[in-house]
């Protein structure tokens, strides 16, 4: 049975997507921190709101740690379809979240 590691081009695409996800998560964390510090937004995710209230560095560790764990799974996993679906889903979610961040940044600037 072929795995993701059997196809180097596919593996590179997954790594690139994982790196993109990590960058999107970093932007999300920075924009969320900015909005929360200035009182412009409220965190909708109760777990993330709790983490932010407890410790801002912990907030960043969790926000960046989860996509980095997924990126690690991409590098060692032999189940290609599950990893691709998880990565694609996470990318779509974070793109939508960043669109919301851009929207409220524009609304604040107006």
Residue of 108, 105, 104, 92 lying closest to 24 (CA atoms): 92
Tally of CA atoms within 13 A in the half-sphere of 47 that contains its CB: 3
Q: Is the pTM of this model over 0.85?
A: no
Under the banding of pLDDT at 50, 70 and 90, the label for residue 33 is: very high
The answer to whether residues 14 and 83 touch, using CB atoms and an 8 Å cutoff, is yes
What does the domain layout of the chain look like in residue ranges? 7-109
Share of the chain above pLDDT 90, in %: 39
């Amino acid at each position: 049975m072929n795995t993701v590691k059997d196809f180097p081009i596919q593996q590179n695409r997954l790594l690139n997507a994982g790196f993109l996800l990590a960058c999107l998560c970093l932007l999300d964390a920075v924009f969320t921190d900015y909005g929360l510090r200035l009182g412009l937004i409220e965190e909708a995710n109760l777990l993330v709101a709790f983490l932010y209230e407890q410790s801002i560095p912990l907030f960043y560790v969790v926000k960046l740690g989860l996509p980095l764990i997924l990126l690690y799974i991409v590098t060692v996993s032999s189940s290609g379809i599950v990893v691709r679906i998880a990565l694609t889903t996470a990318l779509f979610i974070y793109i939508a979240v960043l669109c919301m961040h851009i929207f409220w940044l524009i609304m604040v600037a107006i």
